[in-house]
Structure formats: C-alpha cells, structure tokens
Homo-oligomer: A and B are copies of this chain.
C-alpha cells in the first residue's frame, strides 16, 4: 500500500493516549494515524483497536489528514471493539 504525502516525511509527534475508562494513560510518539494505531496495540495491549477519538469530546479520528491537524500533546482515547467514549467532565451524568 502506498501513502500519498505531498509534504516532507512527517516527524514523530507526542500524543497522550488513554484507554476507554481512563485507567491508563501513556505518552506515545507517532508520525501517522497508522503508526499510532500500531503502537497503541503494543503499548496499551489493546488488540484489534477499532477507533481513536479525542478524549475531549469523543470526535473520531479516522483519517490521516485530520490526524495531522492535531496539536502535539493532544489527548486521545483508544477504543477497542464494543468500547465507547464517555465524557470525563460530567461524572455520573448519563444520556
């Protein structure tokens, strides 16, 4: 598979990645979304990761394009199959 990048080779950038219940949070360097997904599996032992979302509001990060717009240090949540994002700011509040 080929990766189309018009810009220079991306540098690895720091992200903070937590799991679905925020019991784990680790600093991970990644230069692309694909790279991050691979490292999440080895670092958070989350096999078969299906989604990475912004911890802030649950926005799903699906494309490399959108991933590249994230600031260094962005807090992301890794979700495995069946896991869903819930807001951290309204504990006890359920929709």
> Contact between A63 and B29 (Cβ–Cβ < 8 Å)?
yes
Known A89-B95, A90-B93, A93-B90: A63·B16 in contact at CB below 8 Å: no
Which chain B residue lies CB-closest to A17? Answer: B59
Q: For A58, list chain B residues within 8 Å (CB).
A: 25
> Contact between A63 and B27 (Cβ–Cβ < 8 Å)?
yes
A16 to B66, CA, bound (A): 10
Interface bin, chain A: 20 to 34
- Cβ contact of A60, chosen from B25, B57, B66, cutoff 8 A: B25
A28 to B69, CA, bound (A): 11
Q: Which chain A residues (32-80) contact chain B, with CB distance < 8 Å?
A: 43, 53-54, 57-63, 65-67, 69, 72, 75
> Contact between A59 and B27 (Cβ–Cβ < 8 Å)?
yes
A59 to B75, CA, bound (A): 10
Known A62-B43, A93-B90: A69·B14 in contact at CB below 8 Å: yes
